[in-house]
């Protein structure tokens, strides 16, 4: 693929809107142990869509409150900071992820489902392996395939060649993508995360999620996202064109000190993830 296309893609990334200022502030506050529910509700209340969603969640049958929750600060106490943070982030990305990503064979809503699924599976895995920054794992999972949204149309034109190359040479989809296009959705996704000012370890996890053995800064985080991605594909969450070309890297299991039977158990416990996705989506 020529220089010209590479320049076009870089320009597209440069022109992306900034990551929602409200989401950024709400996330900072949910990370601040001194912040109160009132502080956070003040930030969320700026956005009517967030407010409505947060109230709807707190009032959903799942939380089983008999009394109607009408204020955001009350809702925050019921939902808890962790859930709130996931909801704010997930809502911020929903619009961006909602379209079909045809180049990768993802129907409308698949990209979103896959990303939320990977975020939740990353969080589950992080807890299981006692990775200290559990929410960072959630964020990295949510963003891991963000490059696909940008590369979508370029991949669509070359998809037959990519799949053919992967099949004939025994390459992963990302490797074939890189040979045909000159870069893959990991490279482009990490540039998007940089543009949105996510920290270095999250950027690395995005850049290396199909090659976790290359991660240097925080190999554990990258390995978590890699395995969580595999778990989502095993659950059938947003498989697309590359889902069948996903070798689970043994290096990732070594980094996390997990063995294959434990992965089977994790896939089993991850069934509840589909339920949680419903909760975030509706």
Dist CA 171 CA 163 (whole Å)? 9
How far, in Å, CA of 81 to CA of 24, rounded? 14
When the beta carbons of 75 and 243 are compared against Fe ion, the nearer one is 243
Q: How far is the CB of 173 from Fe ion (least distance, A)?
A: 8
As measured in angstroms, the least distance from the Cβ of 104 to Fe ion is: 9
Q: Which is nearer to Fe ion, 84 or 228 (CB)?
A: 228
Of 84, 88, 71, 87, the C-alpha closest to 21 is 88
Closer residue to Fe ion in complex, CB, 40/228: 228
Task: Return the number of the residue (53 or 207) whose C-beta is nearest Fe ion.
Answer: 207
Number of residues located near Fe ion, criterion CB under 5 A: 2
Instruction: Determine contact, residues 206/147, Cβ cutoff 8 Å.
Output: yes
> What per-residue string of b and e applies to 68-86 under the rule 16 or more CB within 10 Å gives b?
ebeebbbbbbbbebebbbb
Q: How far is Cα 20 from Cα 38, in angstroms, rounded to an integer?
A: 20
With left for phi above 0 and alpha for psi between -120 and 50, is residue 236 left, alpha or beta? left
The residues, any chain, with a CB within 8 Å of residue 38's CB and separated by 6 or more, are 73
* Window of 10-18, 40-48, 221-229, 255-263 that interacts with Fe ion by CB under 5 A: 221-229
Closest to 237 in 3D by CA, of 100, 106, 147, 127 = 106
Binding flags for Fe ion, 43-72, as an x/- string (CB under 5 A):
------------------------------
Site string for Fe ion, 91-130 (x = CB under 5 A): ----------------------------------------
177 binds Fe ion (CB under 5 A): no
Asked whether position 229 contacts Fe ion by CB under 5 A, the answer is yes
Residue nearer to Fe ion on the CB measure, 81 or 104: 104
Secondary structure in 3-state letters for 198-228 = CCHHHHHHHHCCCCHHHCCCCHHHHHHHHHH
Phi/psi of residue 75, each to 5°?
Answer: -60, -40
- Per CB under 5 A, which region of 39-47, 142-150, 152-160, 161-169 contacts Fe ion? 142-150
**Least spacing, CB of residue 59 vs Fe ion, in Å:** 32
Q: Does 145 bind Fe ion (CB under 5 A)?
A: yes
Considering the complex, state which of residue 118 and residue 253 has its C-beta at the smaller distance from Fe ion.
118
On whether the CB atoms of residues 207 and 140 are closer than 8 A, the answer is no
Closest separation in Å from C-beta 76 to Fe ion: 30
For Fe ion, the closer CB: 47 or 175: 175
Per CB under 5 A, residues contacting Fe ion are: 145, 229
């Amino acid at each position: 693929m020529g220089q010209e296309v590479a320049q076009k893609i870089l320009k597209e990334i440069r022109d992306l809107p900034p990551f929602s200022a409200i989401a950024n502030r709400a996330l900072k506050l949910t990370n601040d142990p001194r912040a109160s529910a009132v502080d956070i509700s003040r930030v969320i209340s700026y956005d009517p869509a967030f407010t409505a969603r947060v109230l709807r969640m707190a009032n959903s049958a799942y939380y089983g409150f008999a009394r109607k929750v009408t204020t955001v600060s009350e809702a925050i106490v019921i939902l808890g900071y962790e859930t709130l943070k996931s909801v704010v982030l997930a809502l911020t990305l929903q619009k961006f992820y909602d379209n079909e990503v045809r180049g990768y064979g993802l129907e409308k809503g698949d990209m979103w489902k896959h990303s939320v699924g990977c975020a939740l599976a990353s969080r589950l895995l992080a807890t299981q392996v006692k990775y200290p920054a559990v929410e960072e794992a959630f964020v990295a999972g949510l963003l891991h395939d963000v490059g696909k949204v940008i590369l979508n149309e370029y991949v669509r034109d070359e998809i037959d060649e990519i799949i053919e190359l992967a099949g004939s040479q025994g390459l992963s989809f990302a490797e074939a993508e890189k040979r045909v296009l000159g870069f893959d959705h990991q490279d482009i996704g990490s540039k998007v995360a940089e543009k949105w000012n996510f920290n270095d370890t999250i950027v690395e996890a995005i850049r290396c999620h199909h090659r976790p053995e290359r991660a240097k800064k925080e190999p554990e985080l990258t390995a978590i996202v890699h395995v969580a991605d595999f778990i989502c594909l095993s659950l059938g969450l947003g498989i697309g064109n590359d889902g069948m070309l996903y070798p689970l890297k043994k290096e990732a299991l070594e980094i996390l000190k997990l063995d294959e039977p434990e992965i089977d158990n994790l896939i089993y416990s991850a069934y509840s993830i589909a339920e949680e996705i419903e909760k975030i989506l509706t």
